[in-house]
Each structure stands twice: as structure tokens, then as C-alpha cells.
Amino acid sequence: MWGGRFAGGPSAIMREINASIPFDKALWRQDIAASKAHVAMLAAQGIVSAKDATAIASGLDAIAGEYAANGVPENWDLEDIHMVTESRLAELIGPAAGRLHTARSRNDQVATDFKLWVRDAIDQADAGLRALQVALVTRAGEHAASIMPGFTHLQTAQPVTLGHHLMAYYEMAARDRSRFADCRARLSQCPLGSAALAGTGFPIDREATAKALGFDAPTRNSLDGVSDRDFAIEYLTCAVQCSLHLSRLAEEFIIWASQPFGFVTLPDSLSTGSSIMPQKKNPDAAELVRGHSGRIVGALTSLLVTMKGLPLAYSKDMQDDKVPVFEAASLLTLCLAAMSGMVEGATFRTTRMRAAAELGYATATDLADWLVRQANIPFREAHHITGAAVKLAESRGIALDALPLADLQAIDARITDAVFAALSVDASVASRASYGGTAPQQVKARVAEARVALGLE
């Protein structure tokens, strides 16, 4: 490839450390698409002949067919996907293949290919997130009025509805989709034509190649065009945030599926057993989603550390940009599919959820609120009165609404028997009817809005 400059070939060590074909072969579709756009532009500008351009494009199509059928051959002597493809093109069409690399460098070539790959990965993530949202909205609609305990500090706090809980993850997924969309918009400048770092002396049409590849415009600075990996870092940042949301949802399912909680039965298809304990049904898919989030965080850290001290323009360190992105994208796709399947296939044990909500004095806040509304007591005083009532009920091992009226009035004479209407879990969730609240009517309204946003209605 550069025999004119070097008298000898690389050592075995150099050959091994330098070759990227084992992983950058994943870019072959993007590489061929970018090469076809480039050669079409070269022909339109009169830089190569129409005959050579036609031969090159036909050869690239043939190579694409070979790769699709048999995979990309890993020739380490040719280093990367770009040279493997160019070498094969020369075998197919002869010397005309050498004209393909006119007015470009592997620097702008790989930057373009990588942007196209990340753009495809964003589209895949968006599709996976939408599928998760559909699953969440569907199950939330089924359980808009199913009561469960809401937690803070993993302690029973207030009753909520299962539908409300699931819709919280819908909102997280919506923000994830928004972040990915922003990332996609920002990467939509095409580096092709930046050449090695300074642009090219050939009269190329960068707007034409940008348009052909679906970019909004060419990059405005050739140094930045070949040096930029912000798009990869931003993609990983979005992937990290998304994976954290998936990990939190996975953790909820792991807790809910445990015998002490018993809120959910996970689908057999996403569970495993034990090699020694026949009774076990382990939430391994959820645990792996939780674990994979750590690997995705690691991928971001890896690329950040790689890029943090690099001067302009291209440095060989940047060859290591792809592996963490490829790994994170693969893991994220798998995690999204796993959690979508888990939400779709889970059996929610709503009777158990409701019973748990009726324990733990989850309606204590409702007693305090009743005192504020009905007895015109300042909230801090109402909070103190309610705390005393909870302490009494706890000492007797009974629910708050099981305390006799006389005992409640002994704590505060302003309490009347009307308070009991506010102390049931049904009354509690129904009262939380503020916008975005857990009341069934609010959950149903949010589900309806989400279904419209998802194009389901």
C-alpha cells in the first residue's frame, strides 16, 4: 500500500497491532455506499471517466454481494475494510480501481463510514425504544387502576397505580428517543472530501456526496471533519443514559419477582433455572440487562479517555474508537429487546400488589391532607398528628384505617368519622388527580396521549 516509501514490510507485531479489519469489517455497507457516492461525484465533475466510474460502481455492487453472502475476508496485510474492498475491486476490474481513491483519504473515508454506521445505530435504538414504549403503554392501559405501593428509599410511601409506575418508564424512553434524535441531527454533516486533513485540490462537489449519503451538508472545516468523534461520544452518552433507565426497570422486575414481594411472574422465555435447586426461576435476563449497563458505561469511558488528549488531525489512537461503539450498540439493542419482551410477557399479581399497598401505612399522607383540608390545620401540625396515629396503629399491629375513631380523637379531637373515607388505598390514588398524578383518570389520559404520539391511534 505504501511500498514507494518503505523498503521493507511491517513486522509481525506491527501487522497485528495495526490491523483493524477484525472489527471495522462491520462498516462494509457504509464503506461501499460512501465509495459509490464518491465515484459518482468524481464522474459528474469530470475527474474520472464515466466508463471507469461505471466499472467501479458495478465492481462495488459485486463486492457487496460477496460480503452479504460470505462475510468480509480478514486479510490483515490489507489492514482495514477500506483496503480490503479496494484490493478486491482491483481484482475484479483491474487498474481502474485505483481511481476510486482520487480526492479522498482513509481519514475522511473512515469518518464518513463511521458516521453512517452510528446514524444507523441511532435508528435501530429508536426503533427499540419505540417498541419498549408500546409495551409500556399497552400494559399501563391494562393497569391504569391497579393499586400497588409506591416507594421512596424502597420503603412504602404512598399508594400508586401500576399504570402510573409503568408510564414513568415511558417518559424516560421518550427522553432517550429525544436525545438520540438530537445526536442524529448534530452528526448530519458529511466529512467526505476533507481528504487527509486539508481538503483537496480536485474540483470536487462535496454538497453532492453529502446529499447522496443523506447528510444535511458537508462539514465546514476539513481538520474538524477528520478529527471529530463527538458524534460517537454523544451516541455513547445517549446509550449510557438509556441503559441506565433499562437497568432501573430491570432492577424493579428483579425485586418484584422475588418471593418476599411476589408482584410479578416473569415470562419463562426470559428466565432460567438452577442446576441444583429445582424450585428456582431466576430473572437472569433482567440481571444481565442490569449488568450490561455497566459495560455500556465502560464503552463511553473508553472512548472519552482515548480522545481526551489527541491533537488535530487524525491519530492512529482513533482506530480504537469503533470497538466500544460497536459493543455498546450491540448490548443496547439486546437490552431493549429483552426489556420489551419482559414488559409484554410479565404477569402482574395485582392482588398481591394491592395487599402490599394496604400495609405500611401508605395512606398516612392522606390523613395529614384530610386534616389540612377539613380541619384547617397547618400541614406541619397535621404531619405531627398523623405521626402519632401511625405510631399507635403500629404498636397495635393494625392498619391506620382500623384504628377506632375514639382513639384517633384522643390524639386530636378535630378528627371525625369522615376521615375514614380518605384512608382507603382507592380513595388515596383517586385523590391524586393533579396533572401527571397517579389517579386512574390521569393515567388513562397519559396513556391516550402516548398512544397518539406513538401512532397507535
Active-site entry in 58, 178, 258, 274: 274
Active-site entry in 87, 153, 384, 434: 153
State yes or no: is 274 an active-site residue: yes
User: Is 114:187 a contact under the CB 8 Å cutoff?
Assistant: no
Bridge partner list, 155: 152
CA proximity to 99, closest of 59, 63, 131: 59
State yes or no: is 271 an active-site residue: no
The whole-angstrom distance between residue 195's C-alpha and the CA centroid of its chain comes to 33
> Quick one: three-class SS letters along the chain?
CCCCCCCCCCCHHHHHHHCCHHHHHHHHHHHHHHHHHHHHHHHHCCCCCHHHHHHHHHHHHHHHHHHHHHCCCCCHHHCCHHHHHHHHHHHHHHHHHHHCCCCCCHHHHHHHHHHHHHHHHHHHHHHHHHHHHHHHHHHHHHCCCCEEEEEECCEEEEEEEHHHHHHHHHHHHHHHHHHHHHHHHHCCEECCCCCCCCCCCCCCCHHHHHHHCCCCEECCCHHHHHHCCHHHHHHHHHHHHHHHHHHHHHHHHHHHHCCCCCCEECCHHHCECCCCCCCCCECHHHHHHHHHHHHHHHHHHHHHHHHCCCCCCCCHHHHHHHHHHHHHHHHHHHHHHHHHHHHHHCEECHHHHHHHHCCCCCCHHHHHHHHHHHHCCCHHHHHHHHHHHHHHHHHHCCCHHHCCHHHHHHHCCCCCHHHHHHCCHHHHHHHCCCCCCCCHHHHHHHHHHHHHHCCCC
Q: What residues act catalytically?
A: 153, 274
